[in-house]
């Protein structure tokens, strides 16, 4: 198996799926982020990290990236990125099985939205 002793967390986020409707309604205005999907937030965090790594590499400081002779940025050998999500994404990015598609037909988006609301 792979050596997992040297893992580093790059970006972590939680979205509004973890907040119930009651929590959102009862919160003091401005204390909760609303309409922020975890996959969007974690991507923003990853891009922030990646751009910072590119700046470090350009300044010849330790980085997960290296500048090639042609000026392009390259990931150091042997590095991998993994994405973990505890829930499938919402909307058009949702993964659904064939039985749901057959059941919902052309209204798959509305059908899946209704089924995820019933999960809470």
Q: Supply the DSSP string of 39-55, one letter for each residue.
A: HHHHHHHHHHHHHHHHH
∠99-100-103 over CA atoms, to 5°?
85
39: annotated active-site residue: yes
Q: Which of 39, 77, 103, 106 is catalytic?
A: 39
**Cβ-contact 105, 96 below 8 angstroms:** no
Q: Is 53 exposed, middle or buried (0-12, 13-18, 19+ CB in 10 A)?
A: buried
Active-site annotation, residues? 39
């Amino acid at each position: 198996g792979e050596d997992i002793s040297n893992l580093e967390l790059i970006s972590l986020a939680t979205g509004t799926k973890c907040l119930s409707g009651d929590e959102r309604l009862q919160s003091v205005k401005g204390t909760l982020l609303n309409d922020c999907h975890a996959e969007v937030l974690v991507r923003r965090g990853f891009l922030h990290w990646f751009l910072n790594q590119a700046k470090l590499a350009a300044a010849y400081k330790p980085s997960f990236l290296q500048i090639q002779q042609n000026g392009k940025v390259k990931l150091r050998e042997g590095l991998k990125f993994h994405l973990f999500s505890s829930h499938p994404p919402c909307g058009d990015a949702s993964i659904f099985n064939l039985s749901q598609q057959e059941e919902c037909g052309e209204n798959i988006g509305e059908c899946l939205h209704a089924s995820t609301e019933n999960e809470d």
